[in-house]
Amino acid sequence: MPRPPVKLARQLVRKVFSVYLALALAITAVQIALEYRETYSQVIDELNAAALAFEPGVTDAVWDYQLPLATSIARGAVDGRVVLGVRIRDMAGHINIDLSHDPSAQNKFDLSKVVMLFHTYSDGSREPIGEMVLYSSRSVVLGRVQYGVLLAFLTSLVKTAGLWLIIAFFANKLLSRPLRQLTDLVGAFDVAGAPRALPLELSAPSEELCILRDAFDDLAVRVVDDRVQLTEMAAALVQSARLALLGQMSAGITHEINQPLTALRALSDNSRQLLKIGRIDDVDRNLASITGLTERMARITKQLKAFAHKGSAVASPVQLHTAVSNMVELLSSRMQTECIDVNIDVPQDLRVLCEAYRLEQVLLNLFSNALDAMKASPTKRLSVKAQALGDRVLVKVSDTGTGISEAVLNRMFEPFFSTKASGEGLGLGLAISNSIVKEFGGMMRAMNVPNGAAFEFDLRRE
């Protein structure tokens, strides 16, 4: 298969040839039209000349009422070359002659020359005594033109074929070959954008190609440096967005930790008093409660640590239900405070190919936005649904909030675009979430649903 620049060169050659071919056909058509016009004029002139030649004899025959003589003259006029038919008649109706070279073709006579016949008296006066009509046809014109048309087409064909050979030769030498060499230079970059060695040996190196080769060498170095910087900046931006989310949740997290700590202090003091009076069973129950509270605090800190962790972007099987449950638990305090009804419809065994921490970041962003949207809603319901569709998994997060306006929908995933009040968000959450989903081969979409809004994205299924 030809490489793209070579294909481009061939397309360019074909377009140039097509333009030339169109011009050649147009010129040929003009030549044919001019040839037809000239031949048509020649036929009319010959028809007029024949009328002038036979008019005196026909006039005498009609004046003398000599029908045989008029018929003989008419037959002589019909030569079958230009004059295909003759009609002669006198004013009194004594002579009425209608002859043609091919009687079956009389209805095809579309050219004619009408000559009025006059008798001239000795005093110079003239009297009309009849008329003579000489007939011809456009087929006579076409018959003469067809040889010129054939010659014009053959000439145009020879010129076109010769020009095509010349264009093909010079295009290959002056266009395709340099483009092929440029293709080899461009091929010095691998799929990831990193430069490979340039083993290209130019058979006839020109100054332009050498300059381009040096430019590609410089470009290779800059591309690698830029890619490294962009990768580091993207990773730092994602990490900053995570920490920003944690900062927004700090009040709820503080409550989640302070509440068990208060309970621990009360249970510890109570256990000391119970030990003094020997109520061992009550002390045991208090210690069991303390164990449960410490486990709860451990789960919270573990999830916070995992979420703040700067993970890699390597896709691996992730249990979707676990990721959803972790993020719901992180927001559980806020959900309880705001009386949020949570509905999770995610199969336990459904696994997606992603990176766990990044998937949780996407979910946390969507959950937090849904909670913000439902602050003023009388009915507050957060729904999370996932279903397998072939080799893909579709995840949908919907709420019963105020919905999304058309203007906001068009800019939903733009970086730094936010509808929240100043200081409540950077406008990066959805942009980064969309970028994460795209990084793992999916696509995120926003839409309005009855009584609220929804976000959905798809990922590869394990």
Tell me the DSSP string of 257-283.
HHHHHHHHHHHHHHHHHHHHHT-HHHH
Distant-in-sequence, close-in-space partners of 437: CB < 8 Å, separation ≥ 6:
362, 443, 444, 457, 458, 459
Query: Rounded to the nearest 5 degrees, what angle is found at the Cα of 78, between the Cα atoms of 74 and 83?
Result: 125
What does the radius of gyration of the chain's CA atoms come to, in whole angstroms?
Answer: 49
**Residue 167, pLDDT score:** 67
Say which CATH superfamily domain 311-462 falls into.
Answer: Histidine kinase-like ATPase, C-terminal domain (3.30.565.10)
Q: Given the DSSP bridges, would you call strands 111-120 and 126-136 parallel, antiparallel or unpaired?
A: antiparallel
Instruction: Please list the ranges in the chain whose pLDDT falls under 50.
Output: 1-3, 190-200, 202-204
- Tokens describing residue 70: 């008029």
Give the three-class secondary structure for 87: strand
- Write the DSSP symbol of residue 414: S
CATH 3.30.450 placement within the chain: 4-158
**CB distance 452 to 376 below 8 Å:** no
Q: Please indicate, yes or no, whether the overall pTM of this predicted structure exceeds 0.75.
A: no
Return residue ranges of the chain for CATH 3.30.565.10.
311-462
If one looks up domain 4-158 in CATH, what number appears?
A: 3.30.450
C-alpha closest to that of 149 among 25, 42, 43: 25
Q: What is the pLDDT of residue 215?
A: 67
How much is the pLDDT for 191? Answer: 42
Using CA atoms, how far apart are residues 342 and 252, in angstroms rounded to an integer? 17
pLDDT of residue 193: 47
The Cα–Cα gap between 317 and 354 comes to 6
Amino acid identity, position 301: T
How many other CB atoms are found less than 10 A from the CB of residue 366? 27
Identify which of 226, 217, 214, 231 has the alpha carbon closest to the alpha carbon of residue 189.
217
